[in-house]
Amino acid sequence: MNTLKKMNEQINHELGSSYIYLSMAAYLTSKNLKGMAAWMHKQANEEREHAMKFFEYLNERGQAVELLAIEKPKNEWKTPLELFEDALKHEKKISALISAIMETAIIEKDYPSIAILQWFVTEQVEEEANASEIVEKLKMIGEHKGALLMIDKELGARQ
């Protein structure tokens, strides 16, 4: 079924997301923005959990999982704002991919997959909102270093 095939590909996109966020965490650490780095580490872990949700679901459906190659992520940004703008852009791409799998599941009347995908649709709203909020805050503070450190501290408190 195409839905399950696309879910297999989505494992790759979720692990790719994890890899991108890990690269962002490495960059932020190198810039001494440890709170933002911690936030990104948590995000990277969440993406791995997303991949595992699809992985386990495919196992339950008796579909063999085939892991695909993960691209080398970008590792340099001009500013934290540019980095979080990239994260937001990336989440929008992931949302579009989830929607495309949902459309296939609906066409195939694959109701169990629709139920699983509904969780991801809701999750993507939160993922985009979180990234967007940080982008807006970073835009607001501009070049203000003190405010940047405050945001860094705030993001470091993410549970």
- Binding residues for ligand FEO, rule: CB under 6 A, are 14, 17, 47, 50, 91, 94, 127
Burial class (CB in 10 A: 0-12, 13-18, 19+), 151: buried
Question: How far is residue 152's CA from residue 22's CA, in Å, rounded to a whole number?
Answer: 17
**121 vs 147, beta carbon nearer ligand FEO:** 121
**29 vs 95, beta carbon nearer ligand FEO:** 95
Q: How far is the CB of 138 from ligand FEO (least distance, A)?
A: 19
Q: Cβ neighbours of residue 139 under 8 Å, at least 6 residues apart?
A: 81
- The full DSSP string for 70-108 is -PPPP---SSHHHHHHHHHHHHHHHHHHHHHHHHHHHHT
Q: How far is the CB of 47 from ligand FEO (least distance, A)?
A: 5
Q: Which amino acid is at 80?
A: P
**42 vs 149, beta carbon nearer ligand FEO:** 42
Q: How far is the CB of 147 from ligand FEO (least distance, A)?
A: 26
Nearest residue relative to ligand FEO (C-beta): 50
Q: How far is the CB of 129 from ligand FEO (least distance, A)?
A: 11
**14 vs 85, beta carbon nearer ligand FEO:** 14
**129 vs 140, beta carbon nearer ligand FEO:** 129
Helix (H) or strand (E) holding 36: helix 34-60
Q: How far is the CB of 24 from ligand FEO (least distance, A)?
A: 12
User: From the CA atom positions of the chain, what is the Rg in Å?
Assistant: 17
